[in-house]
Amino acid sequence: MKLLRILSFRLFVLLPFLMAPVLVNAQSDPTGESPVTRTYAITNATIIPSPGAKIEGGTLLISDGVITAVGTTVNIPDHAQVIDGTELWIYPGFIDGMSNTGASRPDAMERPNNLFTPDPPNDYAGITPEISVVEQLNIEESSIESMRKLGFTVSHTVPYGRMLPGKSSLVLLTDVEHVDHMVLKENVATVSQFVGAPGSYPGNTLGIMAKWRNIYRNAELSKRNTEMYASNPTGLARPANDRVLEAFYPVVEKTQPMLFNASSLLEAQRAMRLQNEMGFNLMIGNLEQSWKIIDELDNNNVSVFLSLDLPEKPDEIDDEDKSEEVAELEARRLEFYNRYMEQFAALKAAGIKFGFSTMDVSNSKIKKNLIALQEFGFDSTDALAALTTHPAELLGINNITGTLEAGKMGNAIVTTGPYFSSDSDVKMVFVDGDKYEYEIKEGSKTEVSDEVLDAVIGTWNYSSTTPQGEQTGQLIFTNVDGAIEGVWTSDAGNPDIDMNNISYRDGVLTFDIEFDAGGQLIEIVVTGDVVGNEYDAEASIAAFNFSFPLMAIKQDPEN
């Protein structure tokens, strides 16, 4: 396994100096001060209550967590905090169709002594469908604030893990004192993915498929025996309790869908193959390439959450003497890019309602990617539907959120202009009626701080000692429109890889890497201290309880 082969980067960012949030009248109040009012009236604003609808000079009234009025003639209570919405736009709060937002990755289980690899313990194999993601939620998780600042108010959060990591929940992106107060709806779906067990069965795709079938059929049998025993136990042996099989009962009953984290075309097809064999209700999240299976998705009635991690438009080599081979390669890259970007409009044309997944996309790219889709027949109304009404319907919460209507939850976004334009900012976000206000900087509103410019931006020569030997290359950090972006290069000739969500705070530079090692998703977490022009870090592979050093030296820009 080469360290940099087939890498898919997901780097976790904090950057609090770019966020500058000001929490106003939030549900969690560590100062002990109670909010003066939980009734807010935003007046004279442009309101988009639902995709395709528009109210000019309207008022949105939110009281005690509920939208009580929307329109041009609204009676405002005396105790309301009135906010002048002149030149402001108001949208329903966004819903993330699939992510790990709010969840903290648990420590990896150590490899058991005398492990019997053909039949490892369920928890080591990652077969834990009985676990709820609520057990992984953390009220201090930084992703809550970073996603909220983009306009997301609800996240369909899935647990970390392997083959069957557990059950997802709908999470309110609000600041609270206890995780229970974040949970809007628990146990929404049972989550599965094609991630094998390290060094044991099921360790590859074929093993996962076989194990999956075995668990499902055993769950059907267990459920049937349990029901028979409950109706008339006379003469029957008492069925044994099995938490894994019992966790599958709602899936067998079709009262709970199975959500597959299936980014690739092949993974999506494998998930649908299992659905066709077993008959369960299927959701596919984080899907990247759907255009070849649109008919299959439609025929199988699959709920889809497309990945917002879009490819970069390929650069054209400006060289009149470029070879025919280079020209053909450019044409193929551009053709793939266009097909990728056109798939969103293609699904819409096929009548397939879908939402978005932010699972693998950098926060700094989410809005930019949404805007980029407008060039490919997927306009702002379509994007808003995929962020609000469609995921609300697919996740069964369209009666409480997804639009700005009287009686629905007080989830709303207030922006300085049309959200899907590059020059607008999120000014306020309301989650369950609590207001979060953000400072709007004039001019260079996303300027990277001098601390980061001096400490991180630049080119770093790295070396790491791995089980496969020494790996060397460059870490190239740049300031792009106020966000830190980077590229990881390899001296071994591997393709350059984009780096996302770089985190630098208090002298500590952190990022994580995920890559597919023969059907098994492996994560490497890199964290270390930046002292002057030296980066002394440790790279950890939690799945194998193993770590190795990584050292980097920053180049002098004058040389």
Tens digit of pLDDT for each residue in 158-180? 999 999 999 999 999 999 999 99
Residue 268 has pLDDT above 90, yes or no: yes
Query: For residue 4, what pLDDT band results from cuts at 50, 70 and 90?
Result: very low
Give the containing element (helix H, strand E) for 346. Answer: helix 324-349
- Residue 545 pLDDT: 65
Q: Which residues touch 506 (CB under 8 Å, ≥6 apart)?
A: none
**Can you give the pTM of this predicted structure?**
0.77
Dist CA 110 CA 543 (whole Å): 8
The pLDDT tens digits for 297-337 are 999 999 999 999 999 888 776 666 677 887 788 889 999 99
- Residue 532 pLDDT: 86
Q: What distance lies between CA 249 and its chain's CA centroid?
A: 27
Q: Token pair of 273, please?
A: 């193959």
Residue 437 has pLDDT above 50, yes or no: yes
Dist CA 529 CA 535 (whole Å): 6
CA angle 255–296–368, rounded 5-degree value? 90
Residue 61 has pLDDT above 80, yes or no: yes
Residue 31 has pLDDT above 50, yes or no: no
- Residue 92 pLDDT: 98
pLDDT, the chain, mean: 86
The pLDDT tens digits for 208-263 are 999 999 999 999 999 999 999 999 999 889 988 999 999 999 999 999 999 999 99
3-state secondary structure (DSSP) of residue 20 = coil
Dist CA 427 CA 416 (whole Å): 6
Give me the domains of the chain, ranges plus CATH numbers: 7-17+448-554 (2.40.128.120), 21-93+417-438 (2.30.40.10), 96-202+260-314+322-392 (3.20.20.140)
Q: Per DSSP, what are the bridge partners of residue 412? A: 92, 430
- Residue 107 pLDDT: 83
- Residue 2 pLDDT: 39
| pLDDT-above-70 percentage for the chain | 86
- Residue 556 pLDDT: 79
pLDDT higher at 529 or 394: 394
Dist CA 260 CA 317 (whole Å): 39
- Residue 415 pLDDT: 97
